[in-house]
Structure 1
Amino acid sequence: MRKLTLSAATLCLAAQLSTAQIKLPSPSPGATVMQTIGTTDITINYSRPSLKGRTPFTDAFVPMGKVWRTGANGATAFTTSTDLMVNGKTLPAGSYALLSMPDRNDWTLIFSKNKAVTEQTYKQDEDVLRVPLKQAMAGEKIETFTIGFSDLTDSTAKLNIMWADVKVSADLRVDVNANSAANVDKAVAEKPDDAAVLQAAASYNLSKGRNLDQALTWIDKSVSMKESYRNLFIKSQILGKMGKYADALPIAQKALSMGQTSNDAAFPFFKDGIEKSIAEYTAKVPAAPAMKGAKGKKKA
Structure 2
Amino acid sequence: MRKLVLSGVTICLAAQLATAQIKLPSPSPGASVMQTIGTTDLTVTYSRPSLKGRTPFTDSFVPLGKVWRTGANAATTFTTTTDLMVNGKTLPAGTYAILSIPAEGSATLIFSKNKTVTEAEYKESEDALRVNLTPSENSEKVETFTIGFSDLTDSTAKMNFIWANIKATADLKVDVNANAAANVDKAVADKPDDAAVLQAAASYNLSKGRNLEQSLSWIDKSIAKGETYRNLYVKSQILAKMGKYSDALPLAQKALSIGQTSTDGAFPFFKDGIEKSIADYTAKLPAAVPAMKNMKGKKKA
Normalised by the shorter chain, which TM-score bucket?
over 0.9
Tell me whether 1:234 sits opposite 2:261 in the alignment. Answer: no
Measure, in 2, the Cα distance between the counterparts of 1:264 and 1:117: 55
Q: What is the CA-CA distance between 1:4 and the residue it aligns to?
A: 2.1
Q: What is the CA-CA distance between 1:92 and the residue it aligns to?
A: 0.6
Q: Match of 1:25?
A: 25
C-alpha contact (below 8 Å) 1:198/1:221 kept by paired residues: yes
Q: Match of 1:144?
A: 144
Q: Match of 2:209?
A: 209
SS state of the match for residue 102, structure 1? strand
Tell me whether 1:249 sits opposite 2:249 in the alignment. Answer: yes
Q: Match of 1:54?
A: 54
Residue identity over aligned pairs, in percent, reads 78
Measure, in 1, the Cα distance between the counterparts of 2:41 and 2:215: 27
Give matches, 1:92-111, under 5 Å: 92-111=92-111
Number of matched pairs: 289
Measure, in 2, the Cα distance between the counterparts of 1:75 and 1:137: 26
Q: TM-score scaled to structure 1, two decimals?
A: 0.94
Measure, in 2, the Cα distance between the counterparts of 1:31 and 1:93: 22
Q: What is the CA-CA distance between 1:216 and the residue it aligns to?
A: 0.5
The one-letter code sitting in structure 1 at the alignment partner of 2:267 is: F
The one-letter code sitting in structure 2 at the alignment partner of 1:42 is: L
Q: Match of 1:122?
A: 122
Q: Match of 1:81?
A: 81
SS state of the match for residue 268, structure 2? helix
User: Which deviates more from structure 2 when the two are superposed, residues 262-271 or residues 130-139?
Assistant: 262-271
Q: Match of 2:72?
A: 72
Q: What is the CA-CA distance between 1:48 and the residue it aligns to?
A: 0.5
The one-letter code sitting in structure 2 at the alignment partner of 1:169 is: T
Q: What is the CA-CA distance between 1:2 and the residue it aligns to?
A: 2.5
Superposed CA RMSD in Å reads 1.2
Q: What is the CA-CA distance between 1:271 and the residue it aligns to?
A: 1.3
- 1:268-289 per-residue CA deviation (whole Å, 9 max, x = no partner) reads 1111111111111112224879
Measure, in 1, the Cα distance between the counterparts of 2:245 and 2:172: 43
Q: Match of 2:13?
A: 13
- 1:217-243 per-residue CA deviation (whole Å, 9 max, x = no partner) reads 100110011111110000000000000
Q: Which of the pair is proportionally richer in helix?
A: 2
Measure, in 1, the Cα distance between the counterparts of 2:279 and 2:83: 43
Gaps of at least 5 residues in structure 2 are 291-301
Measure, in 1, the Cα distance between the counterparts of 2:132 and 2:39: 26
Gaps of at least 5 residues in structure 1 are 290-300
Q: What is the CA-CA distance between 1:154 and the residue it aligns to?
A: 1.2
Measure, in 2, the Cα distance between the counterparts of 1:99 and 1:271: 54
Measure, in 2, the Cα distance between the counterparts of 1:136 and 1:245: 57
The higher radius of gyration belongs to: 1
Measure, in 1, the Cα distance between the counterparts of 2:166 and 2:185: 44
